[in-house]
Structure 1
Amino acid sequence: MAEHTTAWQQHHPPEARPLWHWAPTGLADLPRIRRDLRDRISEHRTDGRPAVADPDMFVLAVDELMSNALRHGRTPVEVDIGRTDDAWLLTVCDRAVEDPPRPALDRDPAEGGMGLGLVAHAALGEGWYASDAGKHVWVLLP
């Protein structure tokens, strides 16, 4: 079966207050960043309650964008997480501006590569844009 993909739309995300930043240099950095992220979101509270409704999906989304940038983009890779008034903005920048994010639409799940679609399904919005720094792929999570 032919694989159909649709690139995410090119547009800017909403403004967000910067909170956390990482600069992974390779896939070996991902377990450390996931642990650090889990620690940070467990400590982050809004009105005394956990600020992240679904920590597993949150970590999965960050991991998916980071690993895609490291596997399919060009280094250096920058990971930023910020807050809008009512959502989380996850942004990953790599240098492969010519290669926008394209979730697989009809790939056999056994072949992998379904992460972008899963992340988009959980997101309030997603997209990407190019700047002098590179390709910025972003998702907005509740």
Structure 2
Amino acid sequence: MGQLRTSPPPPQATELERWDLRTAAELRALRASLRAALTRYGLAQGEELDEVPGRVVLVATELASNSLRHGIPPTIVTLLAADDCFILDVADHDLATVPELADTRPLDSGGRGLLLAQSVSLAVGWYATEDTKNIWASFPR
């Protein structure tokens, strides 16, 4: 199993929006709200986002699903912005486990959210606070 790099997102990142999830049923509303936020903040900068909202929503769904399935609720999804990127941060309250890349599991066994995040984002990392374990991914803004 591979290890993710351990580091928080850039310190200059500012929070744009935040969602607290307790059940998988809330993922649909998260996807819609996150897509709207990305479009709103992207359009505010006068830039065309192309496929970025779709990639962010896909990674958010994968990471939040894993967190809801394996972590301790609530799952906290935060959209941040730094100068040149959006940062998606997904946190749960399970401090006993370390995120690992599931590159050796059979394809039908799940657990590939981190590999997916690495393949469609600029960078992926994780860090822990006193209360949460956070996984983040960055995307072009």
CA–CA distance in structure 2, aligned partners of residues 8 and 94 of structure 1: 17
Q: How does 1:54-65 map to 2 (within 5 A)?
A: 54-65=52-63
Q: Aligned match of 2:38 in 41, 65, 70?
A: 41
Instruction: Note if contact 1:52-1:58 (Cα within 8 Å) is conserved in structure 2.
Output: no
Q: Aligned match of 2:21 in 18, 24, 29?
A: 24
Instruction: Note if contact 1:82-1:89 (Cα within 8 Å) is conserved in structure 2.
Output: yes
Aligned to 2:108: 110
Amino acid across the alignment from 1:7:
Q
Aligned to 1:14: 10
Percent identity of the aligned residues?
Answer: 33
My pick for the range that moved more, 7-16 or 43-52, is 43-52
**Secondary structure, aligned partner of 1:23:** strand
Report the TM-score, using the length of structure 1 for normalisation. Answer: 0.87
Aligned to 1:82: 80
Amino acid across the alignment from 1:42:
T
Q: Give the length in aligned residue pairs.
A: 138
Instruction: Note if contact 2:4-2:99 (Cα within 8 Å) is conserved in structure 1.
Output: yes
Deviation at 1:52, TM superposition (A): 6.1
CA–CA distance in structure 1, aligned partners of residues 18 and 50 of structure 2: 17
Structure 2, unpaired ranges of 5+: none
Deviation at 1:11, TM superposition (A): 1.7
Deviations, residues 94-123 of structure 1 (Å, cap 9, x unaligned): 111121221211223233332210111222
Question: Cα RMSD (Å) of the superposition?
Answer: 1.7
Amino acid across the alignment from 2:80:
G
Aligned to 1:128: 126
Report the TM-score, using the length of structure 2 for normalisation. Answer: 0.87
Amino acid across the alignment from 2:95:
V
CA–CA distance in structure 2, aligned partners of residues 113 and 137 of structure 1: 14
